[in-house]
Amino acid sequence: MYLALKRIKGRIHYLIRESYQDGKYLRSRDLFDLGVNPSRYIVYPGGNAYYIDEQVEDRLRSFGVEPTSDELDDIFWGFLKPEIRRAVEHFQRRGASQRVRLSQAEEEKIRTQVHLFDKRRLHYLKYGSMDQRRIVSTPPKLFRVLLEKSRDEIEQYFMEMERSLDPSELKTYVYVIFDLRRFFTEMIATIMPQGLDQNKVDEHFLDEICRLNSNRSFWAGMNLEGRLHEYLIRYVIMYFDNEYGRSTFLDDYVRNFMNSRRFYRAPPKKSSVNLDEASTIFGVKKEALKKMPRRGLTRLYRRMAQKLHPDKGGDHDKFIKLSETYQELLQGKK
DSSP for 135-166 reads GGGS-GGGGGGGTT--HHHHHHHHHHHGGGS-
Residue 4 burial by CB count (10 A; 0-12/13-18/19+): exposed, middle or buried?
buried
Interacting residues of 312 by C-beta distance below 8 A, sequence separation 6+? 306
Q: Which pTM does this prediction carry?
A: 0.70
Q: What is the pLDDT of residues 189-219, one digit of tens each?
A: 888 898 899 999 999 999 999 999 999 999 9
Q: What's residue 301's pLDDT?
A: 81
Residue type, 277: E
Domain ranges within the chain, ordered by starting residue: 2-93, 104-240, 249-331
Residue 330 burial by CB count (10 A; 0-12/13-18/19+): exposed, middle or buried?
middle
Q: What's residue 5's pLDDT?
A: 94
Query: What's domain 249-331's architecture?
Result: Orthogonal Bundle (1.10)
CA-wise closest residue to 70 among 96, 97, 46: 96
Nearest-angstrom CA–CA distance, 224 and 79: 33
Give whole-number Cα distances, 266 to 15, 253, 263, 301, 330, in Å. Answer: 64, 18, 10, 21, 11
Report, as an integer, the average pLDDT of 164-177.
Answer: 94
Asked if 20 and 29 count as a contact pair (C-beta separation under 8 A), the reply is: yes
- Which range of 182-191, 283-292, 320-329 scores highest in mean pLDDT? It is 182-191
Nearest-angstrom CA–CA distance, 246 and 224: 37
Nearest-angstrom CA–CA distance, 234 and 236: 5
Report, as an integer, the average pLDDT of 57-71.
Answer: 90
